[in-house]
Amino acid sequence: MKRLVLLLAFSVALMGPSNAHADVSVSLSLDRQEATPSDSIRMVVSVSGARECDVPPVIEGLDRFRVAQGGSSTRVEIRDGSIRSGVDYTYYITPSQPGRFQIGPARVQVDGDIFESNRVPLSIVKAAPGKSSAKGAIFLTAGLSTKRAYVEEQVLYTLRLYLRTRVANISLELPEQDHLTFQQLGKPREYQGVLDGHTCQIVEVAYAVMGLKDGEYIIRPARMEMTAYGSGQQPRRGFFDDPFFSDPFFRTGRPVSVSSESLELKVVPLPEKGKPEGFSGLVGSFAIASELAPAKIRAGESATLTVKVSGRGNVHRIPDLKVPSLDSMKIYADQPTFTAAHDLNGLAGSKTMKWAIVPELPGDYHIPPLSIGFFDPKAGEYRIIQGPGHSLAVIPGKGKMIMVEAGQERQNGVPRPEKQEIREIGHDILPLHTSLSDMGTWSWAGKRGLFLWAVLLLPVCAYISTFLGLRLRERSLQTLPAQRAKRAARNLFRLCRQYGGADAQRLSLIVRDYFNDRFGLALASLTPEDAAGILASKGVAPETAGRLREVLQTIENAIYAGKGRGADRIGQEIPGIIREIEREIR
């Protein structure tokens, strides 16, 4: 189903152009503009916008030519997104005598309407008998359209390669030199011609030559190198007389080099007389056109002035025009657009300049015409051309009403107008910054620098401190018993020094407290046996434990029975035993 719809749409698209004749155009072209009486020239009448004509084309200017029809062909082309069809009528014309002729126009009739083509000039020159044959099967000629030209005037330099044999791999060495520029005009053209009664292939390539400085120039011979295959003689018909085997691939080529003749070109300077003020060096033939749209606007809105300078010559010299300042008007220039092209007659091009004109006050304004000066080499004088002036009617602006109306339209559901590209009509910078924020600068030195380092390093310090604190705490828990032991012994030594000779009761309490602190006990009283047992359980030697038991027994006797040795001597003996105990426990 989809295919059917597509086919139908394509058919309608093809049918469409045949019915619309508003854009039918006809053109006439020749395969060369200069030939000899014995040449056959190919002529094509191209009709665009119609697939057929009511009657064959009628062509003027062919009274002195023999005409042979070459058939017709239709074509369909897609250009700028639209499908156009056309038909080409081909003819071969042979001149009967030398001379300069105008071929055309060709008239075609499409659905009752008559359309005319352009005219094409054609020069028929006498052939030089015997000259070409003396040059052999391959030779090259060069020609200038004129031998005298002004500075930067275009001169056509045409090279023709005559071939009576098949060649390949053609390369060209141009005779380029200082102060002369060569610009190739299109691709090389190939056509057939008759030379000394023999048909030959002609390859033609044209250049626009421009002298940048006055003087007399000798254009050296151009040189073409190629590979030639065979002599052009017809071989005997036989088994291998097949076009396939006549291909150059199957034949041995020989390198051939041919040169053209040298030419003289005299380049004369542009005259000083009549030179316009601010002359840009433009040489050739040019025209100017301008347009102002719209011609009626509101104050504050913009109209566009478009000026187009086009022509043939050194088009890159087309200057940027300037619109003079006008009262109560702001004028903003757009970037000019430049286009250049070339054909067989040389370089052509155009420059389009646009200005946005914004009137500030209502009234009728006159935009003065813009002019441009150039040197016309055909007339040999300077010319100044100018476009038309324009009138601009400006009515009062709407001001804020525009916004009110737009709002109402939107509320009523009316579709909004199409968006336009934002066009820049002024250039300026944005205003000052007046805020005091974000004013600070900083560096790694100074007060702020210290703060920055602190911000970076404080977390690291905090982490290291925490880590070390935790490690210290952990270590403290591990060494607590040893610390307690040291503290208990230190206390005992100190108390023995202080109260050693006092009484047995105090000595008994000192030893009891030592045991409680040293071993983490909570004994209310300590008997000699208990002390010996505790020491034995902690790994103290029996002799040492026995010595302490004896000492404690002596203290008990002194306390409860009042006999035994004196407390002062015992007080001196106890620290020694405790030191021994500490050593053994460690």
Partner 1 sequence: MRKTIRLAIALLAAGLSLMSDACADSGWEESFFKANQAYREGGFQEAIDGYLHIVRSGKGGGPVYYNLGNAYLKSGRLGRAIWAYERALLLTPRDPDLRFNLSHARDQTVDAMGDPRGSIETVFFWLRSFSLRELFGGFAVVNLLFWSVLIIRLFNRSEWPYYLLLVVISLWFVTGLSFGLKYYRISTDDRAVVLQKEADILAGPDSADTVLFKLHEGTVVHHERSEDGWSLIRVSDKNRGWVTAEAIGRISEDASDPN
**Residue partners of 498: CB distance under 8 A and separation at least 6:** none
| Member of 134, 432, 472, 561 binding partner 1 (CB under 8 A) | 432
411 binds partner 1 (CB under 8 A): no
SS3 166: strand
In angstroms, the CA 271 to CA 519 distance is: 128
| Member of 7, 218, 470, 541 binding partner 1 (CB under 8 A) | 470
Whether the CA torsion 71, 72, 73, 79 is positive or negative: it is: positive
435 binds partner 1 (CB under 8 A): yes
Site for partner 1 in 448-467 (CB under 8 A): 452, 455-456, 459-460, 462-463, 466-467
Q: How far is the CB of 469 from partner 1 (least distance, A)?
A: 10
Q: How far is the CB of 184 from partner 1 (least distance, A)?
A: 29
Record the tokens describing residue 470, joined without a space: 């935790």
Of 236 and 427, nearer to partner 1 (C-beta) is 427
Q: How far is the CB of 470 from partner 1 (least distance, A)?
A: 6
Of 466 and 572, nearer to partner 1 (C-beta) is 466
Segment lying near partner 1 (by CB under 8 A), choices 259-267, 425-433, 542-550, 558-566: 425-433
Of 465 and 483, nearer to partner 1 (C-beta) is 465
Q: How far is the CB of 330 from partner 1 (least distance, A)?
A: 18
Segment lying near partner 1 (by CB under 8 A), choices 61-69, 108-116, 159-167, 434-442: 434-442
| Member of 112, 415, 440, 562 binding partner 1 (CB under 8 A) | 440
Q: How far is the CB of 325 from partner 1 (least distance, A)?
A: 21
User: Do strands 198-211 and 189-195 pair parallel, antiparallel, or not at all (unpaired)?
Assistant: antiparallel
436 binds partner 1 (CB under 8 A): yes
473 binds partner 1 (CB under 8 A): no
Q: How far is the CB of 472 from partner 1 (least distance, A)?
A: 13
2 binds partner 1 (CB under 8 A): no
422 binds partner 1 (CB under 8 A): no
476 binds partner 1 (CB under 8 A): no
- The residue among 552, 545, 540, 472 whose CA lies nearest residue 504 is 552
477 binds partner 1 (CB under 8 A): no
In angstroms, the CA 343 to CA 315 distance is: 14
Binding characters for partner 1, 198-237, by CB under 8 A (x = yes): ----------------------------------------
Site for partner 1 in 492-511 (CB under 8 A): none
SS3 296: strand
Q: How far is the CB of 322 from partner 1 (least distance, A)?
A: 19
Q: How far is the CB of 448 from partner 1 (least distance, A)?
A: 10
Of 404 and 461, nearer to partner 1 (C-beta) is 461
Of 10 and 467, nearer to partner 1 (C-beta) is 467
Q: Angle at CA 404, nearest 5°, toward 403 and 410?
A: 90
| Contact of 356 with 381, CB cutoff 8 Å | no
Q: How far is the CB of 438 from partner 1 (least distance, A)?
A: 6
Q: Is 69 exposed, middle or buried (0-12, 13-18, 19+ CB in 10 A)?
A: exposed
Whether the CA torsion 508, 511, 515, 517 is positive or negative: it is: positive
| Contact of 544 with 578, CB cutoff 8 Å | no
**Residue partners of 476: CB distance under 8 A and separation at least 6:** none
468 binds partner 1 (CB under 8 A): no
SS3 323: coil
Return the number of other C-beta atoms located less than 10 Å from residue 219's C-beta.
22
Q: How far is the CB of 447 from partner 1 (least distance, A)?
A: 8
Whether the CA torsion 210, 213, 215, 216 is positive or negative: it is: negative
438 binds partner 1 (CB under 8 A): yes
Residue 560 dihedral angles phi and psi, to the nearest 5°: -95, -25
In angstroms, the CA 255 to CA 229 distance is: 9
Q: How far is the CB of 456 from partner 1 (least distance, A)?
A: 6
Of 233 and 437, nearer to partner 1 (C-beta) is 437
427 binds partner 1 (CB under 8 A): yes
Q: Write down the residue that tokens 């935009």 correspond to.
A: 367
> How many residues make contact with partner 1 (CB under 8 A)?
26
Residue 377 dihedral angles phi and psi, to the nearest 5°: -70, -25
| Contact of 124 with 95, CB cutoff 8 Å | yes
429 binds partner 1 (CB under 8 A): yes
Q: Write down the residue that tokens 């002194």 correspond to.
A: 558
In angstroms, the CA 470 to CA 306 distance is: 85
430 binds partner 1 (CB under 8 A): yes
Q: How far is the CB of 319 from partner 1 (least distance, A)?
A: 20
In angstroms, the CA 531 to CA 521 distance is: 12
Q: Is 323 exposed, middle or buried (0-12, 13-18, 19+ CB in 10 A)?
A: middle
Contact residues for partner 1, defined by CB under 8 A = 427-436, 438-442, 447, 452, 455-456, 459-460, 462-463, 466-467, 470
